[in-house]
Structure 1
Amino acid sequence: MHIRFDVPADPAYPGRVAAALGSVRLRKFGYVGAALAAVGAIGFAVSRGFSWGDRVSSLCMAMVLGGLLSMMYSPWVQWRARRRSGRYAVEGAYDITDDNIMMRSGSESGGIAWDGVARVRDTPEFWIVYVGRMPATVIPRRLMSAEDAETLRAFMADRGLLVGSA
């Protein structure tokens, strides 16, 4: 297998990559925030019926507020990444073989050996490549030809790397 394709200097592309990687890394803040907000709301509702409720209700309201702020952290980080990433738009390319994924962006280049890839998650626009538990890079499916995308999908499925869609 040898797949090569170019990445145009699109100002929106780095933001989409940042959002895709950020959604994976920041998802836990949403879960923690929802749990904090739920526990705080339940605690606030329960504390209103007791004599000690005034002391506990301020703690519960702080938990609700902290939970809401935690849930808003991920969208805020993604919005900032998209807003700032336009200046990072440079031409690049991917060169994918049976052995590795090589990426070039401007004058920088790097690669990931398939042996080091733990899994690949399928999203609507990208394949998110994980090294260990962390997302390392993305492969933009929309910039590839349909034949190359199907070849790569089959390769990843044969290696047992491809996991469900997001």
Structure 2
Amino acid sequence: MQISMQVPHDEKRLRRTLRFLLRPQLKLIRIMGGVLIVLGLVLVAMDPSDPIAYLAMILGLLFAVAVAPIAMAQSMRAQSDVIKDGFHVTLDDEWVTVVYPLAESRFRWAGLGRVVETPEVWYIMFGKYQAVTIPKGSMADEQRAEFAAFVDRLQHA
């Protein structure tokens, strides 16, 4: 396999990638928020004058509603300007090579953790938080089929 393509910067795709990577942690925070809300309601039912009950409900609401958008905004701001010019990706039988104008990364397929396919992209996971996003829209139909078959062989090897 030898696939090479230029991928323009896309802020929406970057946001979806960050959301994908942050989802497990944000889900846990939302669950904790729900638990705090329920705890606060139980405490209010037991003693309506207890300020801890109201604090638990307020914190629960913050965890359930506000933390995810704040984390996403902070993650977007934390991204390096290096990525804003887009990148060139080369996929071959041994390597994934991602080249930005000011940086380059290479990953051996042997280090692949998992591949998650969505309708728009493949997330090639080299660890829990290291993802290379391979957008399907930047590929020709034949390249998509070839890459899908390659990934399928990797995952079932």
Q: Give me the TM-score of the superposition, normalised by structure 2.
A: 0.80
Number of equivalences = 155
Ranked by relative contact order (alpha carbons within 8 Å, sequence separation 6 or more), the top structure is 1
State the secondary structure of the residue aligned to 1:124: coil
> Aligned in 2, Cα 1:92/1:31: closer, same or farther, shift over 3 Å?
closer
Q: Which of 26, 41, 50 is matched with 2:37 structurally?
A: 41
AA aligned to 2:125 is Y
Q: Measure, in 2, the Cα distance between the counterparts of 1:72 and 1:89.
A: 21
| Partner in structure 2 of residue 135 of structure 1 | 130
The alignment yields a C-alpha RMSD, in angstroms, of 2.7
Contact 2:85–2:101 (CA under 8 A) maintained in structure 1:
yes
Alignment gaps of 5+ in structure 2? none
Q: Distance in 2 between matches of 1:5 and 1:75?
A: 28
Cα distance 1:97–1:88, how it changes in 2: closer, same or farther (>3 A)?
closer
Q: In percent, how many aligned pairs have the same letter?
A: 20
Q: 1:45 to 1:144 in 2, by over 3 A?
A: same
Task: Kindly state the Cα deviation for residue 47 of structure 1 after the two structures are TM-superposed.
Answer: 1.9
Q: Deviations over 1:26-51 (max 9, x none)?
A: 21343233223322222222222324
1:32-84, Cα deviation, whole Å (9 max, x unpaired): 332233222222222223247514313322432431332333443466579x9
Long gaps (5+) in structure 1: 162-166
Runs of 4+ in 1 over 4 A off after TM superposition: 78-82
What is the TM-score normalised by the length of structure 1? 0.76
